[in-house]
Chain A
């Protein structure tokens, strides 16, 4: 540990691993450490032993759940948009060679006490109970308007200015019912609350286009998921970093972030060892999160809390046509809340649990002093629950950009059901650390070195 590095990265969550990989590819000398003996930090997938150690340290996993090694339980429920930003990074960095993906079988939305599939084909759309016949025609006109929109062709704008007019104006123009608005804003644009309605329509337009282009990419649902769990994602980027010279140390307690008299970063101390670098990047847990302060300086603030209940089931979710995986969205209006409740389901098809076991994570942003009660509407959809692991996690955000002290802190994983905000965070931290925009380029050096896999 007596070497000096360009960057020390603390925590092996997905955000940190993508940054570590990209920095190593960029030629930086990176040391990547984690206090845990496993990869992934808050975005890890745990086996049963690790899951019990985390949630119930005094208990061991029941044998009836099957083999420990068959389990890769995600701590944070997220799916990957087939045409989203994470997919672009996966393809550009070619970490796809370490990963295998499957589709999520369907996306469902809760309405008036029952769930219905978000249609993925025209036939499903025609049969869908989500809208009446006339409303379907109005919605069709609305989607045609969005699909044909061209910024430089005013004829396609139908008098709407996406950058000035609010989404409310757009909904009203097409005469869409409140239930349809709920469906579009929450099940397709994936807004967690209704604040978007009074804002300019452009971001909502972008989100609906992302949803529909992801949907048409593979069919069924807009989402894909890595076999063996989301924890494979940080591992694959860690390998990318290592291949480009990054040094990895797991199971390494981090005792102190050492700064000079001006408060600038100098080194990281672990026990008796210290290691120097020009910059440090890390997740909030390494910078005093959850404590009053870190050496007198408050580096991260709590912005809210998310409750997540990991539920193990012996059956698929009722009403999902025995889907091996799905997302269910309970729009806030349906249950009198400010924030949506999400249910994310995966199963043995995705190599995350033993055969005939289903893993459902129910989550929402905490609004009251009794968060357990807040997720009840989601739990009710699951049928009998075999076992349940509940966590309430604060969402931390850094108090400064890091430019002044070379300490760059990432944000906690939010309540959204996808990785778009994680990639935004990667771009933001990259800009803060390097001073320029992240440009994704192919890994030319490795392609020469490597016997490329020819098509079968």
Chain B
């Protein structure tokens, strides 16, 4: 029997390393050379099917530009099951920024979070400033997954998300981030504001 799991995935990295493009390629298999800074998407979802027919649905949170002045809210990291920290292989400074985002995740996010370091823009290999060895070495030291991608050509994009899906713990029922989540602590069910109340009929109104 096939099983479906849902996880919250957050994107991090310096502005203009291609975070949104990476997601756009993964979710819609599209690329836009002149894509403006992220506008209008609360989060996107995409499903990965693993070999054993298990499906993993990612709820992907983009920074919405709040990373630009280091103004991401704690809400962003909250209940994130996995993170993709993106750097631009043609900008060595962006790997430095990625390191600080990894530290931020280690400080703010759940200790069990799965982190993937992702070197984007391999289509610009001629202008490469960050070697694979350097990035891989850092990833190994910190226990991060690592991969390189080109959101422009699509190279490596589905590989990195599939690798994350395989690494996520698929045994325990995962938390369902986002709206209408099931109660995490289980002691008391949450309330769903978007759902109409079970009973709208008026009682006789006497509360005394």
Contact = CB atoms under 8 A, between A and B. Distances in A.
A251 B207 CA distance: 48
Contacts of B171: none
A146 B206 CA distance: 10
A242 B66 contact: yes
Interface string A99-137: 111110000000000000011101001001011000010
A450 B204 contact: no
B40 A247 contact: no
B122 to A, nearest CB: 26
Given A248-B69, A450-B42, A91 B194 contact: yes
Contact of A235 (B75, B187, B207): B75
Interface in A192-231: 212, 215-218, 224, 227-228
A94 B207 contact: no
A97 interface: yes
A135 to B, nearest CB: 8
A160 interface: no
A239 B204 contact: no
23 contacts: A91-B194, A94-B179, A96-B194, A100-B181, A101-B193, A102-B183, A103-B191, A119-B207, A125-B208, A139-B208, A140-B206, A146-B205, A183-B208, A212-B207, A218-B197, A224-B193, A242-B66, A243-B38, A248-B69, A249-B71, A324-B188, A450-B43, A456-B180
Q: Determine the main DSSP class of A at the interface with B.
A: helix
A235 B190 contact: no
A32 B67 CA distance: 14
A27 B162 CA distance: 37
Q: Number of contact residues on B: which range applies?
A: 35 or more
- Would you list the 3 A-B pairs with minimal beta carbon distance, nearest first? A147-B205, A97-B179, A242-B64
Contacts of A227: 184, 190
A195 to B, nearest CB: 23
Nearest to A238: B73
B206 to A, nearest CB: 4
A402 to B, nearest CB: 26
B194 A188 contact: no
Nearest to A47: B74
Contact of A102 (B44, B73, B179, B191): B191
Contacts of A94: 42, 179
Given A94-B179, A453-B179, 4 more contacts: A122-B206, A139-B208, A227-B190, A242-B66
Interface string B34-62: 00011111111110000000000001000
Contacts of A252: 69
Interface in A121-176: 122, 125, 128, 130-131, 136, 139-140, 143-144, 146-147
Interface in B5-37: 27, 37
A340 to B, nearest CB: 19
A118 B208 CA distance: 7
Contact of A450 (B41, B187, B202): B41
Interface in A15-51: 39
Contact of B205 (A143, A239, A450, A451): A143
A453 B197 contact: no
